[in-house]
Amino acid sequence: MIPASFPPQDEIARLSAAMLLDIGAVHFNAEEPFTLASGLPSPTYIDCRKLISYPRIRSALMDFMAVTVMRNAGLEAFDVIAGGETAGIPFAALVAERMALPMAYVRKKPKGYGRNARIEGVVNEGENVLLVEDLTTDGGSKLSFVDAIREAGGQCGHTAVIFFYDIFPDTRKNLAEHGIELHHLCTWWDVLAEARRRDSFAAETLEEVETFLKAPRAWQEARQQG
């Protein structure tokens, strides 16, 4: 269960960023950029899935997520915790355990046989559902998962993630227009600040990363043209 006292949100952000750096989940490479799912280049990559293999850090971050949601939305705001397939499933289970709530998960698409359902587990008509995922970039996948929950009869106005890119200006707007409030533990800005504090990467690498974070689309276009 959740202890009664936790650090303020800015300290949660710093500690969360530090833990992601500690386990090597953060990758910066400006010389040989990573290719995102969109096909676009990026000097940054984060692998939150690694967290499931680090029980002490995993436990701390799930405590942080549960308390963040309860601070922002209320202690009795939810009836069910739902994870998005696949990365959100273990984190949803861990948060549900802490909040003493039922857990379900949402498929990316109907499984194509049997009930052809997207929701696995029980979501009853009118229940308030918190969608849990590992991260969000532009929020696109959250809209699909939330729609599936709503189509199944649940109410879903909140999503919680460990990591939020916080570099695409339309993300919060798009989520808000869909009636979704985003809760997160840390962002690229928190990770960049912590990486600088502990000299985790070369200064020129961090400078290039900051250039990308300030104007990701311009950075990507310049790389593609080059």
Q: What is the pLDDT of residues 115-170, one digit of tens each?
A: 778 999 999 999 999 999 999 998 888 999 999 999 999 999 999 999 999 999 89
pLDDT tens digits, 20-70? 999 999 999 988 999 877 778 899 999 999 999 999 999 999 999 999 999
Q: Hey, what CATH topology would domain 9-225 get?
A: Rossmann fold (3.40.50)
* CA dist 67 → 53, 128, 159 (Å): 22, 17, 14
**What radius of gyration do the chain's Cα atoms show?**
18
Whole-structure pTM value: 0.94
Residue 32 DSSP SS3: coil
* Tokens (6 digits) for 145: 């998962």
Helices (H), the chain: 9-22, 55-73, 88-99, 140-151, 171-177, 188-197, 203-214, 216-225
- With CA atoms as reference, report the closest residue to 119 among 85, 160, 161: 85
Residue 40 DSSP SS3: coil
Angle at the Cα of 190 (from 56 to 20), degrees rounded to 5? 30
Region of residue 41 (phi > 0: left; psi between -120 and 50: alpha; otherwise: beta): beta
User: What whole-number distance in Å separates Cα of residue 201 and Cα of residue 26?
Assistant: 10
